[in-house]
């Protein structure tokens, strides 16, 4: 399956990840995470395949996260509820998200990309 790269073009971390993918000549489909937001179902699938807690999918350093006081909203939320909140606004989602349909990475760490996508 083709690699999907969910990103926000103004995000510095996303630009680093895109450069890494390009430098390693890896084909991918880029998806603008705000213009083409993930659905609740897509998020639930990504969360499950990532083997990460749903809280790791939140862009905790984002302005929207702070403005909407998401920290308090998700304190006792289950995965389903968190996916619903994430689906409401692409700016709440930590990025980039990269997946081949089986493996999912969230954020960008060069070592992780070397190990998983390299």
Distance CA 74, CA 82 (A): 6
Q: Tokens 């954020």 sit at which residue?
A: 107
Q: Quote the pLDDT of residue 53.
A: 97
Q: Which residues of 73-97 are buried (b: 16+ CB within 10 A; e: fewer)?
A: ebeebeeeebbebbbebbbbbbbbb
Across all residues in the chain, what is the average pLDDT? 97
Any residues with CB less than 8 A from the CB of 54 and at least 6 apart, and which?
Answer: 47, 79, 82, 83, 86
Tell me the pLDDT band of 2, cut-offs 50, 70 and 90. Answer: confident
For residues 102-113, give the mean pLDDT: 97
For residues 46-66, give the mean pLDDT: 97
1 pLDDT exceeds 80?
A: no
Q: Domains of the chain, with CATH numbers?
A: 3-116 (3.40.30.10)
């Amino acid at each position: 399956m083709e690699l999907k790269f969910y990103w926000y073009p103004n995000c510095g971390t996303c630009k680093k990840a895109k450069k890494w993918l390009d430098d390693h000549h890896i084909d991918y489909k880029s998806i603008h995470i705000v213009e083409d937001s993930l659905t609740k179902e897509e998020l639930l699938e990504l969360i499950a395949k990532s083997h990460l807690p749903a809280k790791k999918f939140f862009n905790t350093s984002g302005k929207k996260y702070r403005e909407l006081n998401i920290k308090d909203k998700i304190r006792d939320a289950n995965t389903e509820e968190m996916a619903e909140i994430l689906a409401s606004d692409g700016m709440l989602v930590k990025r980039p998200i990269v997946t081949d349909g089986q493996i999912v990475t969230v954020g960008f760490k060069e070592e992780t990309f070397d190990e998983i996508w390299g």
